[in-house]
């Protein structure tokens, strides 16, 4: 994407230590005080995308760059988060994987058992979000998938409501990363939210994925933010750093999220290009600090 000079100048002003966005290595976080952020965005990070850093290493360092939560951690690893006073912003451990989800009735019994077991643990640990997936189409039409997901989710909905846990179905692209995934458009997910009609079921709006499959990100947030309970970021193409080598301009997207009144987490799920993963994460936080 070719930016005009004004946009490129704006991007450069966001760079840490006066460096251009591509020069992440110049940001030396180890001996600096914690970031001073505006506080309008509450930042998390997805552990898997920061590999090869271990969970322990991630927990020990993310607060230095303004991040206080980690996504996609299950019950077996919550003690590590608690050791460092890191919040689990999106729990997992009940799902069967991305392809096998609520759109197929043959998975409903196992999913029901899993979620009814894990949801009370989420509450007991002091967390509020748990991830869910629609599953792949496997030739299924949209309406059948909606009906099946509604039936399956409603089997666990009362458990979620009782324990104050929000089931968050993730919107994923089916064009590049998750071929055949059903919940690949916000309109489909929103229709499911309307049918379930509970504050304990929302969508995890992944900006990277929705940029690929539908675009029009800011309008989606402005119009349908009430259905979005969590956000993920990454640069496109490639799910890389939030720099000027990719096409998504994040500051106005973050402003739209702030303007919507959202008080949840925006979690970074990009794969850093450089070796210093924490520096890359710190850069993403600064880009999104509006």
Write down the pTM of the prediction. Answer: 0.89
Domain borders along the chain are: 43-288
Q: Is-cis flag, bond preceding 237, omega within 30?
A: yes
Q: Give 34's pLDDT tier (boundaries 50, 70, 90).
A: low
The bridge status of strand 87-91 relative to strand 69-73 is parallel
Please tell me the distance from the alpha carbon of residue 154 to that of residue 231, in angstroms, as a whole number.
23
Q: What is the pLDDT of residue 222?
A: 98
Question: Is the pLDDT assigned to residue 4 strictly greater than 90?
Answer: no
pLDDT score, position 36: 82
CA distance 134 to 184: 9
- The dihedral sign for the CA sequence 258, 259, 260, 261: positive
3-state secondary structure labels for all residues of the chain = CCCCHHHHHHHHHHCHHHCCCCCHHHCCCCCCCCCCCCCCCEEEEEHHHHCCCCHHHHHHHHHHHCCCEEEEECHHHHHHHHHCCCEEEEECCCCCCCCCCCCCHHHHHHHHHHHHHHHHHHHHHCCCEEEECCCECCCCCHHHHHHHHHHHHHHHHHHHHHHCCEEEEECCCCCCCCCCECCCCHHHHHHHHHHHCCCCEEEEEEHHHHHHHCCCHHHHHHHHHHHEEEEEECECCCCECCCCCCCCCHHHHHHHHHHCCCCCEEEECCCCCCCCHHHHHHHHHHHCCC
Q: Rounded mean pLDDT of 82-110?
A: 98
When pLDDT is cut at 50, 70 and 90, the band that residue 157 belongs to is very high
Q: Which two tokens stand for residue 3?
A: 């930016």
CATH architecture of the domain formed by 43-288: Alpha-Beta Barrel (3.20)
- Residue holding tokens 């640069």? 235
Q: Locate 164 and state its tokens.
A: 């104050």
> Is the model's pLDDT at 3 over the cut of 90?
no
* Tokens at 64, concatenated: 């230095």
Per-residue pLDDT tens digits for 215-252? 999 999 999 999 999 999 999 999 999 999 999 999 99
CA distance 70 to 257: 19
């Amino acid at each position: 994407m070719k930016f005009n000079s004004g946009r490129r100048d704006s991007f450069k002003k966001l760079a840490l230590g006066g460096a251009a966005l591509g020069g992440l290595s110049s940001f030396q976080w180890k001996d600096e005080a914690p970031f001073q952020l505006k506080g309008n965005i509450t930042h998390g990070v997805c552990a898997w995308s920061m590999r090869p850093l271990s969970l322990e290493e991630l927990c020990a360092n993310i607060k230095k760059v303004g991040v206080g939560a980690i996504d996609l951690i299950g019950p077996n690893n919550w003690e590590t988060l608690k050791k460092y006073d890191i919040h689990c912003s999106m729990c997992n451990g009940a799902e069967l994987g991305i392809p096998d989800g609520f759109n197929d009735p043959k998975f409903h019994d196992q999913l029901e058992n899993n979620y009814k077991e894990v949801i009370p643990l989420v509450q007991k640990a002091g967390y509020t979000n748990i991830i869910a997936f629609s599953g792949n189409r496997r030739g299924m039409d949209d309406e059948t998938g909606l009906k099946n997901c509604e039936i399956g989710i409603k089997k666990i909905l009362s458990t979620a409501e009782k324990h104050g846990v929000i089931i968050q179905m993730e919107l994923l692209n089916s064009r590049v990363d998750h071929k055949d995934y059903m919940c690949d458009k916000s309109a489909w997910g929103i229709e499911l939210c309307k049918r379930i009609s509970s504050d304990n079921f929302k969508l995890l709006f992944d900006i990277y994925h929705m940029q690929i499959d539908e675009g029009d990100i800011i309008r989606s947030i402005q119009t349908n933010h009430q259905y979005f309970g969590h956000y993920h970021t990454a640069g496109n193409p490639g799910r890389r750093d939030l720099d000027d080598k990719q096409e998504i301009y994040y500051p106005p997207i973050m402003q739209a999220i702030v303007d919507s009144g959202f008080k949840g987490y925006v979690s970074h799920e990009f794969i850093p290009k450089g070796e210093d993963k924490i520096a890359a994460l710190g850069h993403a936080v600064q880009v999104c600090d509006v």
